């Protein structure tokens, strides 16, 4: 590149503060940010407020535990996301239309809770309504995430991510902890009515939110809506390594944070100190970190931000090493460790959320973003049992050293597709020449075999984690893998059926992924050129 070109590029690119001001002044950014408030409300209600509410009116703790399964739709939202890529509501466009449908459902189901909240005998009705709220919320999240991918420009993504997390957390706090406090002064009935009323202004935001600048043709069939998002993503260079990176990038944070409350209890910190650290310092640290991380991703560039924040979030657990080594409670040290770790976690989340947007193809934004975010959430689910076993085996201080080592594989994978020094990596999908035709029968056979293997692996891992937990509880009984493995296929309750269904979904996803990898690598079943949406550069692909 000539010096003239370089100087021209430098002149054309706005400075740091100018680019941030331009992004924050955008109605696209403002609408996406405000809609995130609507996402946080139902999660705070279902996850935090409803269990507290039910227990406070005397509902059996076993029933309360079962009702917490209402959180399941957020984990399985990718199952119906292809429907939202394929079908377009008859009003307000493909994304805003689905948002409006979900928000009306959230208003109705939340309002319905007001009529049954003071009746312990109606706990199962509350549970059913909580499940309906969660399903409508997960549907809304699919639509809002897809809308954000499609409507935001690249220079707006970083700022939008930080602002979205801030409002999302604020909404969770209002519907969760603040609602519990307010219900003690008035009643749950009026609290729930107030929460339902908050969806009305959100519906107006949805109505007047701008449409994306590019319009994409929906898939022609439901089969295409399921198939093409997999094949399209896997046609990327180093796609499997990118998926592994999505899984591993936040592993150190997930392992270090999953048992934070028990850690502080074991270290002798009081209820008040734990509450201040986790409920106040931790909350504001995460929000501040995500705001900074999102904004500085725009300034540094996505590639550099992933490297800088990835290294910082790995070493942040050193604070917990010092807390463990102190031996006796040191409140200021503990507050500093929590604050530093939560801020760095937010930094990594800000950059990582921008990455998920860049990886998502706009035509299949609902399905692909739901799949990527679900893959991102898996380490949080499995981190707890793994962390418990490690702490039991090696103690707290070595455990936190281990979590830092656990973050290194993510950086090694990052080097594969974003080498050091690259400012903004290119994730465009390019069409592939046909290497060798793969027949439909081969694809179906490979998918079926991989699905069975995936279910077997899922069942084995689930049974292994249960066996490890049982060993911790009753070490004198010894390690027993066979009993929990056999129990998986003899479900006795709702929780057992959900576990079995999760294993089946995991296996089917593995099967579909295997078939998609074969199709993408051969090029024979790639998205046809006439199906591909136009790109700004005019290049083939999506």
Burial of 461 (0-12, 13-18, 19+ CB in 10 A): middle
Which structure tokens are listed for 330? 């040191």
pLDDT in tens, the chain (542 residues): 444 444 444 444 444 444 445 545 678 888 888 898 898 889 888 887 888 777 777 766 666 766 767 777 887 788 888 888 888 888 888 889 999 999 999 999 998 888 775 665 567 788 888 889 989 999 999 999 889 888 888 777 777 887 888 888 888 888 887 888 887 788 888 888 889 999 999 999 999 988 887 777 777 777 777 777 777 777 777 777 787 887 777 777 777 777 777 788 888 888 778 777 777 787 788 788 887 877 788 778 888 888 888 888 888 888 888 988 887 888 898 888 888 888 888 888 888 888 888 888 777 788 888 877 777 666 666 666 677 767 777 788 888 888 888 888 888 888 887 887 778 777 665 555 555 566 777 778 888 888 898 888 888 888 887 787 777 677 777 778 888 888 888 887 767 787 788 788 888 878 877 777 777 666 544 454 444 444 333 333 33
Instruction: Return the closest-CA partner of residue 258 out of 375, 379, 384.
Output: 384
Which structure tokens are listed for 192? 């729930």
Angle, CA 475 vertex, CA 471 and CA 481 arms, to 5°: 35
Contact 355, 132 (CB under 8 A): no
Q: Within 10 A of 490 (CB to CB), how many other CB atoms are there?
A: 8
Tokens 């749950």 label which residue?
188
Task: Say what the alpha-carbon torsion angle 232, 234, 236, 237 is, to the nearest 10 degrees.
Answer: -160
Instruction: Return the closest-CA partner of residue 168 out of 132, 140, 189.
Output: 140
Q: At what angle do helices 222-234 and 365-394 cross, to 10 degrees?
A: 60
């Amino acid at each position: 590149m000539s010096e003239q070109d370089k100087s021209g590029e430098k002149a054309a690119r706005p400075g740091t503060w100018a680019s941030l001001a331009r992004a924050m002044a955008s109605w696209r950014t403002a609408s996406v940010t405000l809609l995130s408030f609507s996402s946080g409300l139902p999660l705070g209600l279902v996850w935090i407020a409803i269990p507290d509410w039910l227990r406070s009116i005397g509902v059996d703790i076993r029933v309360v535990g079962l009702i917490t399964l209402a959180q399941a739709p957020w984990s399985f939202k990718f199952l119906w996301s292809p429907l939202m890529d394929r079908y377009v509501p008859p009003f307000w466009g493909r994304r805003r239309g689905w948002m409006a449908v979900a928000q009306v459902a959230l208003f109705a189901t939340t309002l319905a809770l007001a009529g049954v909240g003071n009746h312990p005998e109606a706990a199962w009705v509350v549970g059913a309504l909580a499940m309906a709220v969660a399903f409508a919320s997960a549907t809304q999240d699919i639509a809002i995430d897809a809308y954000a991918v499609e409507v935001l420009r690249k220079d707006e993504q970083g700022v939008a991510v930080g602002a979205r997390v801030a409002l999302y957390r604020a909404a969770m706090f209002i519907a969760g902890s603040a609602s519990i406090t307010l219900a003690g002064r008035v009643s749950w009935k009026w609290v729930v009515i107030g929460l339902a009323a908050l969806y009305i202004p959100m519906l107006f935001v949805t109505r007047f939110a701008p449409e994306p600048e590019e319009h994409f043709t929906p898939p022609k069939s439901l089969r295409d809506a399921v198939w093409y998002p997999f094949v399209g993503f896997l046609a990327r260079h180093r796609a499997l390594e990118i998926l592994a990176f999505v899984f591993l990038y936040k592993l150190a944070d997930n392992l270090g944070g999953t048992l934070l409350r028990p850690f502080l209890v074991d270290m002798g910190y009081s209820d008040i100190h734990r509450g201040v650290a986790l409920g106040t310092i931790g909350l504001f640290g995460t929000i501040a970190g995500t705001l900074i991380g999102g904004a500085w991703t725009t300034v540094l560039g996505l590639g550099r931000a992933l490297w800088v924040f990835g290294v910082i979030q790995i070493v942040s657990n050193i604070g917990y090493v010092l807390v463990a080594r102190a031996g006796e409670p040191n409140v200021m040290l503990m507050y500093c460790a929590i604050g530093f770790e939560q801020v760095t976690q937010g930094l990594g989340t800000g950059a990582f959320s921008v990455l998920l947007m860049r990886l998502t193809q706009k035509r299949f934004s609902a399905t692909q973003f739901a799949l990527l975010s679900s893959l991102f959430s898996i380490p949080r689910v499995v981190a707890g049992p793994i962390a418990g076993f490690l702490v039991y085996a090696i103690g707290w201080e070595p455990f936190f050293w281990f979590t830092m080592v656990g973050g290194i594989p993510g950086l090694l994978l990052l080097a594969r597709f974003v080498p050091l020094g690259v400012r903004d990596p290119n994730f465009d999908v390019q069409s592939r020449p046909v290497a060798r035709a793969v027949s439909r029968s081969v694809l179906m056979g490979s998918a079926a075999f991989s699905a069975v293997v995936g279910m077997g692996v899922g069942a084995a891992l689930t049974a292994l984690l249960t066996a490890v937990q049982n060993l911790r509880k009753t070490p004198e009984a010894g390690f027993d893998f066979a009993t929990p493995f056999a129990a998986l296929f003899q479900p006795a309750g709702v929780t057992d059926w959900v576990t079995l269904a999760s294993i089946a979904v995991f296996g089917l996803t593995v099967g579909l992924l295997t078939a998609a990898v074969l199709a993408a690598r051969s090029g024979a079943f790639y998205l046809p050129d006439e199906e591909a949406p136009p790109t700004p550069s005019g290049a083939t692909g999506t």
